Structure 1
Amino acid sequence: MAVHIPGLIAIIVFYLIILSIGLWAGRKARERGSNVENMMIAGRKFGLVVGSITLTATWIGGGAINGTAEGVVRYGLVWCQGPLGYALSMFIGGYFFVDKMRSQGYVTMLDPFSHKYGEKMGGLLFIPAVLGEIFWSGAILAALVSVFNTK
Protein backbone atom coordinates (compact mmCIF):
# COMPACT_ATOMS: atom_id res chain seq x y z
CA MET A 1 0.00 0.00 0.00
CA ALA A 2 1.47 3.33 -1.03
CA VAL A 3 1.25 6.23 1.37
CA HIS A 4 0.41 9.63 -0.08
CA ILE A 5 3.09 11.64 1.74
CA PRO A 6 1.76 15.18 1.01
CA GLY A 7 -1.71 14.14 2.21
CA LEU A 8 -0.30 12.55 5.36
CA ILE A 9 1.78 15.66 6.10
CA ALA A 10 -1.29 17.88 5.56
CA ILE A 11 -3.38 15.82 8.00
CA ILE A 12 -0.61 15.83 10.62
CA VAL A 13 -0.17 19.60 10.29
CA PHE A 14 -3.95 20.09 10.52
CA TYR A 15 -4.20 18.11 13.76
CA LEU A 16 -1.12 19.83 15.20
CA ILE A 17 -2.79 23.19 14.53
CA ILE A 18 -5.96 22.01 16.28
CA LEU A 19 -3.92 20.74 19.24
CA SER A 20 -1.99 24.01 19.44
CA ILE A 21 -5.16 26.10 19.45
CA GLY A 22 -6.64 23.89 22.16
CA LEU A 23 -3.55 24.20 24.34
CA TRP A 24 -3.45 27.98 23.83
CA ALA A 25 -7.16 28.33 24.68
CA GLY A 26 -6.72 26.13 27.75
CA ARG A 27 -3.90 28.31 29.06
CA LYS A 28 -5.92 31.47 28.43
CA ALA A 29 -8.89 30.02 30.28
CA ARG A 30 -6.71 28.99 33.23
CA GLU A 31 -5.21 32.49 33.40
CA ARG A 32 -8.69 34.03 33.56
CA GLY A 33 -9.87 31.55 36.18
CA SER A 34 -12.69 30.15 34.05
CA ASN A 35 -14.93 27.51 35.55
CA VAL A 36 -16.28 24.49 33.66
CA GLU A 37 -19.69 26.01 32.96
CA ASN A 38 -18.16 29.18 31.59
CA MET A 39 -15.84 27.09 29.43
CA MET A 40 -18.78 25.13 27.98
CA ILE A 41 -20.92 28.13 27.05
CA ALA A 42 -18.30 30.89 26.73
CA GLY A 43 -20.10 33.15 29.16
CA ARG A 44 -23.09 33.12 26.79
CA LYS A 45 -21.23 35.60 24.61
CA PHE A 46 -21.16 33.68 21.32
CA GLY A 47 -22.36 35.79 18.46
CA LEU A 48 -24.56 34.45 15.71
CA VAL A 49 -21.68 33.73 13.32
CA VAL A 50 -19.40 31.99 15.85
CA GLY A 51 -22.34 30.11 17.35
CA SER A 52 -23.49 28.91 13.93
CA ILE A 53 -20.00 27.80 12.94
CA THR A 54 -19.49 26.02 16.26
CA LEU A 55 -22.84 24.25 16.07
CA THR A 56 -22.24 23.19 12.49
CA ALA A 57 -18.75 21.91 13.29
CA THR A 58 -20.13 19.95 16.22
CA TRP A 59 -22.99 18.33 14.35
CA ILE A 60 -21.50 17.92 10.92
CA GLY A 61 -18.40 15.93 11.77
CA GLY A 62 -16.45 13.41 9.76
CA GLY A 63 -19.00 10.67 10.38
CA ALA A 64 -21.81 12.74 8.90
CA ILE A 65 -19.70 13.85 5.95
CA ASN A 66 -18.56 10.31 5.12
CA GLY A 67 -22.05 8.94 5.68
CA THR A 68 -23.60 11.58 3.45
CA ALA A 69 -21.09 10.92 0.69
CA GLU A 70 -21.69 7.17 0.93
CA GLY A 71 -25.46 7.65 0.97
CA VAL A 72 -25.41 9.79 -2.15
CA VAL A 73 -23.15 7.34 -4.01
CA ARG A 74 -25.15 4.26 -3.02
CA TYR A 75 -28.74 5.52 -3.08
CA GLY A 76 -28.74 8.85 -4.92
CA LEU A 77 -29.25 12.42 -3.78
CA VAL A 78 -32.98 12.01 -3.06
CA TRP A 79 -32.38 9.40 -0.35
CA CYS A 80 -29.70 11.37 1.46
CA GLN A 81 -31.77 13.27 4.01
CA GLY A 82 -29.18 13.82 6.75
CA PRO A 83 -28.17 17.37 5.81
CA LEU A 84 -31.82 18.42 5.49
CA GLY A 85 -32.58 16.90 8.89
CA TYR A 86 -29.62 18.68 10.48
CA ALA A 87 -30.64 22.02 9.00
CA LEU A 88 -34.29 21.58 10.00
CA SER A 89 -33.46 20.56 13.56
CA MET A 90 -31.09 23.51 13.98
CA PHE A 91 -33.76 25.90 12.72
CA ILE A 92 -36.51 24.46 14.95
CA GLY A 93 -34.25 24.36 18.00
CA GLY A 94 -33.01 27.89 17.42
CA TYR A 95 -36.41 29.36 16.66
CA PHE A 96 -38.46 27.72 19.39
CA PHE A 97 -36.12 26.79 22.24
CA VAL A 98 -32.99 28.95 22.43
CA ASP A 99 -34.58 32.03 24.02
CA LYS A 100 -36.45 29.96 26.60
CA MET A 101 -33.39 27.94 27.52
CA ARG A 102 -31.12 30.99 27.74
CA SER A 103 -33.58 32.90 29.90
CA GLN A 104 -33.71 29.97 32.35
CA GLY A 105 -29.90 29.68 32.41
CA TYR A 106 -29.85 26.10 31.14
CA VAL A 107 -26.52 24.72 29.98
CA THR A 108 -27.44 21.28 28.58
CA MET A 109 -30.49 19.81 26.88
CA LEU A 110 -31.11 17.71 30.00
CA ASP A 111 -31.46 20.74 32.28
CA PRO A 112 -35.12 21.49 31.38
CA PHE A 113 -36.07 17.88 32.05
CA SER A 114 -34.22 17.86 35.37
CA HIS A 115 -35.93 21.11 36.31
CA LYS A 116 -39.42 19.86 35.42
CA TYR A 117 -39.25 16.18 36.42
CA GLY A 118 -36.55 16.16 39.09
CA GLU A 119 -32.94 15.15 39.42
CA LYS A 120 -33.67 11.41 39.28
CA MET A 121 -35.30 11.74 35.86
CA GLY A 122 -32.42 13.93 34.70
CA GLY A 123 -30.00 11.23 35.87
CA LEU A 124 -32.01 8.56 34.06
CA LEU A 125 -32.09 10.60 30.84
CA PHE A 126 -28.33 11.00 31.11
CA ILE A 127 -27.88 7.33 30.17
CA PRO A 128 -29.14 7.57 26.55
CA ALA A 129 -27.41 10.94 26.18
CA VAL A 130 -24.02 9.59 27.20
CA LEU A 131 -24.50 6.47 25.05
CA GLY A 132 -25.29 8.73 22.09
CA GLU A 133 -22.10 10.69 22.73
CA ILE A 134 -20.05 7.50 22.96
CA PHE A 135 -21.45 6.20 19.65
CA TRP A 136 -21.03 9.65 18.07
CA SER A 137 -17.38 9.67 19.13
CA GLY A 138 -16.99 6.20 17.65
CA ALA A 139 -18.44 7.42 14.35
CA ILE A 140 -16.04 10.34 14.27
CA LEU A 141 -13.07 8.08 15.01
CA ALA A 142 -14.22 5.61 12.34
CA ALA A 143 -14.41 8.50 9.87
CA LEU A 144 -10.88 9.52 10.81
CA VAL A 145 -9.68 5.96 10.21
CA SER A 146 -11.45 5.86 6.85
CA VAL A 147 -9.52 8.99 5.82
CA PHE A 148 -6.27 7.12 6.38
CA ASN A 149 -7.57 3.98 4.62
CA THR A 150 -8.60 5.77 1.43
CA LYS A 151 -6.95 4.29 -1.64
Structure 2
Amino acid sequence: MESLQAAMQFNAEDEDTLKGKYLIFTVGKELYGMEIRNITEIIGIQPITAVPEMPLYIKGLTNLRGKVIPVMDARLRFQKEQKEYDDRTCIIVVESNDQTIGLIVDSVSEVLVLNDEDISPTPEITKTGHKYIKGIGKSGGSVKLLLDCERLVSDEALDGLAPSA
Protein backbone atom coordinates (compact mmCIF):
# COMPACT_ATOMS: atom_id res chain seq x y z
CA MET A 1 0.00 0.00 0.00
CA GLU A 2 2.94 2.36 0.60
CA SER A 3 3.98 2.20 -3.06
CA LEU A 4 0.41 3.07 -4.08
CA GLN A 5 0.40 6.08 -1.78
CA ALA A 6 3.75 7.20 -3.19
CA ALA A 7 2.34 6.92 -6.71
CA MET A 8 -0.64 9.03 -5.68
CA GLN A 9 1.30 11.97 -4.22
CA PHE A 10 1.00 14.99 -6.43
CA ASN A 11 0.93 18.76 -6.53
CA ALA A 12 -2.68 19.95 -6.67
CA GLU A 13 -1.69 22.52 -9.31
CA ASP A 14 -0.42 19.82 -11.68
CA GLU A 15 -3.78 18.55 -12.97
CA ASP A 16 -2.26 17.40 -16.29
CA THR A 17 -0.13 14.76 -14.56
CA LEU A 18 -3.30 13.26 -13.04
CA LYS A 19 -5.22 12.93 -16.31
CA GLY A 20 -6.02 9.33 -17.07
CA LYS A 21 -4.67 7.96 -13.76
CA TYR A 22 -6.98 5.62 -11.88
CA LEU A 23 -6.67 3.81 -8.58
CA ILE A 24 -7.74 0.20 -9.19
CA PHE A 25 -9.36 -1.69 -6.32
CA THR A 26 -11.52 -4.74 -5.70
CA VAL A 27 -15.02 -5.09 -4.32
CA GLY A 28 -16.04 -8.72 -4.34
CA LYS A 29 -14.63 -10.29 -7.49
CA GLU A 30 -14.91 -7.12 -9.58
CA LEU A 31 -12.22 -4.57 -10.36
CA TYR A 32 -13.17 -0.92 -9.98
CA GLY A 33 -11.32 2.27 -10.83
CA MET A 34 -11.51 5.80 -9.51
CA GLU A 35 -9.74 8.89 -10.79
CA ILE A 36 -6.69 9.69 -8.68
CA ARG A 37 -7.53 13.39 -8.59
CA ASN A 38 -10.54 12.62 -6.37
CA ILE A 39 -8.57 10.54 -3.86
CA THR A 40 -6.84 12.22 -0.94
CA GLU A 41 -5.46 9.09 0.73
CA ILE A 42 -5.79 5.38 1.44
CA ILE A 43 -5.98 4.29 5.08
CA GLY A 44 -6.48 1.07 6.98
CA ILE A 45 -9.78 0.30 8.66
CA GLN A 46 -10.46 2.79 11.46
CA PRO A 47 -12.93 2.73 14.34
CA ILE A 48 -16.34 3.70 12.92
CA THR A 49 -19.21 5.13 14.96
CA ALA A 50 -22.60 3.92 13.72
CA VAL A 51 -25.27 6.55 13.04
CA PRO A 52 -28.89 5.57 13.75
CA GLU A 53 -31.41 5.29 10.91
CA MET A 54 -28.83 5.13 8.13
CA PRO A 55 -28.93 2.56 5.31
CA LEU A 56 -26.76 -0.50 5.98
CA TYR A 57 -24.17 0.62 3.43
CA ILE A 58 -23.46 3.80 5.44
CA LYS A 59 -21.28 2.32 8.17
CA GLY A 60 -21.11 5.57 10.15
CA LEU A 61 -18.52 8.23 10.93
CA THR A 62 -14.79 8.09 11.54
CA ASN A 63 -12.32 10.64 12.87
CA LEU A 64 -9.55 11.27 10.36
CA ARG A 65 -6.95 13.42 12.15
CA GLY A 66 -9.61 15.64 13.69
CA LYS A 67 -11.95 15.70 10.69
CA VAL A 68 -15.10 13.62 10.98
CA ILE A 69 -16.05 11.92 7.71
CA PRO A 70 -18.88 9.55 6.75
CA VAL A 71 -17.89 6.03 5.72
CA MET A 72 -19.66 3.98 3.03
CA ASP A 73 -19.11 0.24 2.54
CA ALA A 74 -18.72 -0.33 -1.22
CA ARG A 75 -19.67 -4.01 -0.88
CA LEU A 76 -23.04 -3.16 0.61
CA ARG A 77 -23.63 -0.13 -1.63
CA PHE A 78 -23.04 -2.26 -4.71
CA GLN A 79 -25.35 -4.97 -3.32
CA LYS A 80 -22.70 -7.59 -2.69
CA GLU A 81 -22.56 -10.03 0.19
CA GLN A 82 -21.24 -8.57 3.43
CA LYS A 83 -17.95 -9.99 4.68
CA GLU A 84 -15.58 -9.56 7.60
CA TYR A 85 -12.93 -6.90 7.16
CA ASP A 86 -9.38 -8.25 6.96
CA ASP A 87 -5.85 -6.89 6.69
CA ARG A 88 -6.35 -6.05 2.99
CA THR A 89 -9.55 -4.09 3.60
CA CYS A 90 -8.99 -0.36 3.45
CA ILE A 91 -10.73 2.99 3.26
CA ILE A 92 -10.22 5.18 0.21
CA VAL A 93 -10.75 8.81 1.23
CA VAL A 94 -12.56 10.50 -1.66
CA GLU A 95 -13.18 14.21 -2.17
CA SER A 96 -15.48 15.77 -4.75
CA ASN A 97 -17.69 18.87 -4.81
CA ASP A 98 -16.29 19.97 -1.42
CA GLN A 99 -17.51 16.74 0.20
CA THR A 100 -15.29 14.04 1.69
CA ILE A 101 -16.24 10.42 2.34
CA GLY A 102 -14.44 7.20 3.15
CA LEU A 103 -15.15 4.23 0.88
CA ILE A 104 -14.45 0.79 2.32
CA VAL A 105 -13.08 -1.59 -0.34
CA ASP A 106 -11.76 -5.16 -0.19
CA SER A 107 -8.28 -4.24 -1.44
CA VAL A 108 -6.37 -1.76 -3.59
CA SER A 109 -4.15 -3.10 -6.33
CA GLU A 110 -2.51 -0.48 -8.53
CA VAL A 111 -2.48 2.95 -10.10
CA LEU A 112 -3.24 2.53 -13.79
CA VAL A 113 -3.08 4.96 -16.71
CA LEU A 114 -6.10 4.64 -18.98
CA ASN A 115 -6.17 6.63 -22.22
CA ASP A 116 -9.46 7.81 -23.70
CA GLU A 117 -9.39 4.91 -26.19
CA ASP A 118 -9.18 2.46 -23.25
CA ILE A 119 -12.49 3.72 -21.82
CA SER A 120 -15.91 2.75 -23.19
CA PRO A 121 -19.24 4.33 -22.27
CA THR A 122 -21.37 2.54 -19.72
CA PRO A 123 -23.46 -0.17 -21.46
CA GLU A 124 -27.23 0.30 -21.50
CA ILE A 125 -27.73 -2.67 -19.17
CA THR A 126 -25.94 -0.86 -16.34
CA LYS A 127 -27.30 2.68 -16.82
CA THR A 128 -30.41 2.15 -14.75
CA GLY A 129 -28.92 -0.37 -12.36
CA HIS A 130 -25.68 1.34 -11.49
CA LYS A 131 -25.75 5.12 -11.34
CA TYR A 132 -22.21 5.26 -9.93
CA ILE A 133 -20.49 3.81 -13.01
CA LYS A 134 -19.31 6.39 -15.55
CA GLY A 135 -17.42 4.09 -17.90
CA ILE A 136 -15.68 0.79 -18.52
CA GLY A 137 -11.87 0.72 -18.53
CA LYS A 138 -10.08 -1.98 -20.51
CA SER A 139 -6.50 -2.91 -19.69
CA GLY A 140 -4.46 -6.09 -19.66
CA GLY A 141 -7.35 -8.24 -20.83
CA SER A 142 -9.58 -7.28 -17.90
CA VAL A 143 -12.44 -4.85 -17.42
CA LYS A 144 -12.56 -2.22 -14.69
CA LEU A 145 -15.79 -0.47 -13.72
CA LEU A 146 -14.93 3.24 -13.46
CA LEU A 147 -16.80 5.06 -10.71
CA ASP A 148 -18.29 8.54 -10.87
CA CYS A 149 -16.93 10.21 -7.72
CA GLU A 150 -19.39 13.12 -7.88
CA ARG A 151 -22.35 10.79 -7.71
CA LEU A 152 -20.72 8.65 -5.05
CA VAL A 153 -20.11 11.52 -2.62
CA SER A 154 -23.52 13.05 -3.31
CA ASP A 155 -25.40 9.87 -2.34
CA GLU A 156 -28.75 10.98 -0.91
CA ALA A 157 -28.14 8.99 2.30
CA LEU A 158 -25.15 11.24 3.05
CA ASP A 159 -27.22 14.45 3.06
CA GLY A 160 -26.52 16.28 6.30
CA LEU A 161 -23.97 13.65 7.34
CA ALA A 162 -20.97 14.69 5.25
CA PRO A 163 -19.35 17.90 6.49
CA SER A 164 -17.94 20.20 3.81
CA ALA A 165 -14.24 19.82 3.02
1 or 2, which has the higher helix percentage?
1
Larger gyration radius, structure 1 or structure 2: 1
Q: So what's the TM-score if we normalise by structure 1? A: 0.28
Q: TM-score, normalization: structure 2?
A: 0.27
Q: Which has the higher contact order (CA 8 A, sep 6+)?
A: 2
Structure number having the greater strand percentage: 2
